[in-house]
Amino acid sequence: MKKIIFGISFLVILVGIMIGDIAADKNEEAGPNRYDVTGDTSVSGGMIAPVESVGIQPGEAAPDFSLETLDGEVVSLSELKGEKVILNFWATWCPPCREEMPEMQKFYDAHQDDVKVIAVNFNEKDEKVKDYLEEFGYTFPSPLDSDGATGTDYGVITLPTTYFINSEGIIQEQRHVGPMDYEFMEEMLNTLN
């Protein structure tokens, strides 16, 4: 009997701690470092390795890929040569990705004639991605990297990760790790050749 009472008491304490943590999270402001795990307050997003240590570097050619969208359309980077490209890697389960998606849609609506926004879904199943995009009304091209091979080619180790590719197919700016806002995307657009 004592074991049962002790077990129930222990569970009640754990539930109380969880409720307290959830309430504390809701009261915190979501600033740029909301998901930072590095301890460095100058970054947004989190990662294990420094930004500059992995991925394709500015001045390097962007690796070509051909990925299929949910509509069956094939998106190939090589076919976008001559266009500016913002290449974003994301997933439905990723909180910072969910944070940036409305901003990306707003940017896409305003600038789809100026730059190609390609939001590559990283390593998820078709139906889950379809439901997510439809639920929130996202219309930018979102090809599926179902096996994660394209993300691996780009050195993606955390999500979201975004590359800025100029009209020559060259990575022009340092990749961005973490959520982007509308103003940042406009700033990057204005730097692309």
Secondary structure (H, E, C), 133-184: HHHHCCCCCCCEECCCHHHHHCCCCCCCEEEEECCCCEECCCCEECCCCHHH
pLDDT at position 3 is: 80
Both 22 and 55 in one domain: the answer is no
pLDDT at position 8 is: 81
In a domain, 60, yes or no: yes
Separation between Cα atoms, residue 164 and residue 118, nearest integer Å: 11
Both 20 and 70 in one domain: the answer is no
Return averaged pLDDT per consecutive 10 residues of the chain, 193 residues in all. 77 74 59 48 50 77 96 95 97 96 98 96 91 96 95 94 97 96 96 93
In a domain, 91, yes or no: yes
Given a contact cutoff of 8 angstroms between Cβ atoms, the answer to whether 63 and 70 are in contact is no
pLDDT at position 11 is: 74
Range of the domain at 11: 1-28
Among 83, 87, 59, 75, CA closest to 167: 83
pLDDT at position 53 is: 54
Q: Are strands 66-68 and 74-76 parallel, antiparallel or unpaired?
A: antiparallel
Both 90 and 7 in one domain: the answer is no
Whole-model pTM: value is 0.73
Both 56 and 16 in one domain: the answer is no
Structure tokens at 106: 């707003």
pLDDT at position 68 is: 95
In a domain, 156, yes or no: yes
Give the CATH number for residue 171: 3.40.30.10
pLDDT at position 183 is: 97
In a domain, 127, yes or no: yes
Residue 84 burial (10 A CB sphere; 0-12, 13-18, 19+): buried
Structure tokens at 90: 């994301």
DSSP annotation of 115 reads -
